[in-house]
Structure 1
Amino acid sequence: MNPLVATPVIVALLWPWAAAPAARRLADLLPPKAAALTLVGSAVALAGSTVWALGGVVAGGLLHLQLLASAGGLARSWATEGSPATVGVAAVALAVLLVVAGLMARLWRRQRQLLERTWRTMDGQPAEGDLVVVPGESPDAFALPGHGDRPGRIVVTSQMLRTLDTPGRDVLLAHERAHLAGRHHLLARTVQLASAAHPAVRGLAAATSFQLERWADEDAAAAVGSRKLAATAVARAALAATSSQRRPSLLPAIGTGPVPRRVGALLGPPPVAPRGRALRAGAVALLAVVALSAALSLGSAYGLHEYVEQVQEAVGP
């Protein structure tokens, strides 16, 4: 395999193992909204650089096959040098890209099926504005994203409403409305799809889900004007809705994620953006994740371009 292509590709495939943990640590220093957006941006950048690097390997292999086919009278030893490794690695990269594409397609299909199936269960249920109350003995509540021409809804079982007092219901509704208003399902969906490109990116999915819940927690606390009330309602709803602990992140719910950490954060002071040295360090870390991912993508493209130049010079006019 040509070193001009191989070096940035190898680094691009190894880089996410270091960048993903760094993005999670950076997110812990930021307010929930900024943290969630940072994690989503990092996931997209790392997945994009991985796919681009693998595509460069495939393109290099195809170019080498074309060179072998047209070698003719030129120095065939140059054309065939390293060809087994080049073509073999390209075949592996193509197989990986096909697997990634298949995983993304399956995730996309499952996401759509989940929304469609959930919306079908809502057919015929009366709605009061954006609220749908479903009869049932199991306490549950979640934000149902809009689908087609239907706007988003807050789905709550009657048992969950009986579990909470009036202030707690206000927190619950404010929390789920924050999910809908922030379109949190799209952010969670993006990270899920990006995680198919590289195993290291999968670690960002749980962190993103947590930060999205924290984002909604803070919006709910601001809406009701009491962090203690919000913490109490989150704890009570989460304890009641034990089944929601396994709910897909595409349907965000008040009981999702590590609830003790969320409650502890609500019982503390409101989150503030880091200042001074911490802010500069966080900004540099985020820029490093995005910039190096982009640089690696450009590096593999440049290496492929240089390889094309070498081929053209070898083949001649």
Structure 2
Amino acid sequence: MGLILTIVALALLLPWAAAPAARRLALLLPPREASLALTGAAVLLAGGTVAALAGLFHVPFLAGLEHLPLSGVVARWPAVVPVSCAAGAALAVQAVRLTLRWRGHRVLLARAWRLTADATSDGDLLVVAGKDAEAFALPGHRGRPGRVVVSAGMLSALGPAERAVLLAHERAHLRGRHHLLSAAVDLAAAVHPALARLRADLDYHLERWADEQAAAAVADRRTAATAIARAALAGSPSARRTAGPLLSVSTGPVPQRVQALLGPAPARPTGRRARAAVALVAAVTVAALLGAALAYGLHEYVEYAARTLRAHGTV
């Protein structure tokens, strides 16, 4: 039983080491690649955690499949039932957290669509009345395609060129389906607490991704930086969302985003940075896949131990 617990402990501790590596990797990559790397790492690490807990939960059942009486297994490994129950409880908590988080996303999305029911439509643009300056990408819902939602207050706070940047930014969120990446990391964070910090990092890189696409659309990085800064300053505090399906131009650390737009366009790392990125990719990938591998190894070990016990007539 000690080896089993060691295997599971390794799988559960891996995200604490891999999450910081994923965050460092994201800083070396352009925004698009950084967003995909963070999402992939979070999903794989969460999957490894669930696989390890599920493997531990199934230990008594695996022994049963080997036609061993549970009483004999408990006599050999007294902690098997309490530990398996603890793993089952953890899985139940994760399932509840995932369900609540997912339901929260759907409720927020449905509410946003209801609140924009009276908005003026112009193609993919919905203009809502009001003095509050707000703008966000509204994902599709129940067969309705995604829309860019902008308040009249936000439009009046920006000049024509800045409005073009704003619309290009929010359209980039819709075109890239950034809300799905955000939801994936948010759900992964509900599985393992070590992944929670990746949510804020992903928000930043998703906004940087949209910032760069907006700057490319208007072919003027300085105008894009000015528009992002002005839109964020004009935005109401309620518009400064951090995570969820409604990605806003005000999300994330705006000063860092503006500073990045005032510099050169991001490029893929070269030289030492490229080697560091490759090393971090390997480390995160190995850590993420190791969780699932450990769960599989747990399954194989239990079957082997059960066969050995039966062969020696121990149970």
The answer, yes or no, to whether TM exceeds 0.5 is yes
**Matches for 1:260-271 after TM superposition, within 5 Å:** 260-271=255-266
Match for 1:198: what amino acid? H
Aligned to 1:204: 198
1:104-143 equivalences under 5 Å are 104-143=98-137
**Cα separation, 2, equivalents of 1:195 and 1:81:** 36
Q: Does 1:301 align with 2:296?
A: yes
Q: CA deviation at 1:65?
A: 7.1
Distance 2:245 2:89 in 1: 29
Structure 2 contact 49–291 (Cα < 8 Å) conserved: no
Q: Which residue of 1 aligns with 2:251?
A: 256
Alignment partner, residue 146 of structure 1: 140
| Partner amino acid, structure 2, of 1:30 | L
Residues in 1 aligned to 2:124 and 2:70: alpha-carbon distance in whole angstroms: 67
Cα distance between partner residues in 2 of 1:290 and 1:69 = 37
What aligned pairs does 1:210-249 form with structure 2 within 5 A after superposition?
210-243=204-237, 244-246=239-241, 248-249=243-244
Q: Displacement, 1:28? A: 0.7
Contact 2:63–2:302, Cα closer than 8 Å, also in 1: no
Supply the distance in 1 between the matched residues of 2:70 and 2:6 (Cα, whole angstroms).
26
Residue 171 of structure 1 corresponds to 165
1:120-178 deviation line (CA, Å, top 9, x unaligned): 12224231100111110111010000112111101011011000000110000000010
Aligned AA for 2:294? G
Secondary structure, aligned partner of 2:19: helix
Amino acid at match of 1:36: S
The alignment covers a number of residue pairs equal to 311
The aligned counterpart of 1:49 is 48
Cα deviation, residue 91, structure 1: 1.0
Q: CA deviation at 1:302?
A: 1.9
Whole-angstrom distance in 2 between the partners of 1:185 and 1:246: 13
Q: Distance in 1 between matches of 2:8 and 2:288?
A: 11
2: distance between equivalents of 1:229 and 1:262? 13
Tell me which residue corresponds to 2:271. 276
Alpha-carbon offset, residue 79 of structure 1:
5.3
| Amino acid paired to 1:97 | L
Matched residue SS, 1:257: coil
Give the letter for the 1:18 counterpart. A
Instruction: Tell whether the 8 Å contact from 2:21 to 2:283 is kept in structure 1 after alignment.
Output: no
> What SS does structure 1 have at the residue aligned with 2:264?
coil
User: Relative to 1, partners in 2 of residues 1:307 and 1:69: Cα closer, same or farther, differing over 3 Å?
Assistant: closer
CA deviations 1:22-52 (Å, max 9, x no partner) are 1111101110000000000010011011110
- Deviation per CA, 1:251-305: give whole Å up to 9, x if none: 1111111100101111111111101332132122112212232133222312321
Partner of 2:58: 59
- Compute the RMSD of aligned alpha carbons: 2.0
Amino acid at match of 1:80: A
Paired amino acid for 1:183: R
- Paired residue type of 1:39: L
Is the contact made by 1:67 and 1:79 (CA closer than 8 Å) also made in structure 2? no
The answer on 1:193 being equivalent to 2:187 is yes
Corresponding residue for 1:14? 13
Q: Residues 88-107 of structure 1: CA distance to partner in whole angstroms, max 9, x if unpaired?
A: 11111111110001000011
Q: CA deviation at 1:191?
A: 0.4
Where in structure 2 are there 5+ consecutive unaligned residues? Answer: none
Give the share of equivalent positions with the same residue, in percent. 47
Query: Does the aligned pair in 1 maintain the 2:137–2:248 contact within 8 Å?
Result: yes
Deviations 1:201-224 (A, max 9, x none): 111000001000000000000111
- Hey, what's the Cα distance between the residues in 2 that align with 1:88 and 1:183? 43
**Paired residue secondary structure (2:240):** helix
Query: For residue 163 of structure 2, what is the amino acid of its counterpart?
Result: R
C-alpha separation in 2, matches of 1:248 and 1:22: 21
Aligned pair in 2 of structure 1 residues 70, 172: CA closer, same or farther (>3 Å)?
same
Query: Matched residue of 2:58: which SS?
Result: helix
**1:21 aligned partner, one-letter code:** P
Q: Describe the SS at the equivalent of 1:195.
A: helix
Cα offset for 1:68?
10
| 1:18-29 → structure 2 map (5 Å cutoff) | 18-29=17-28
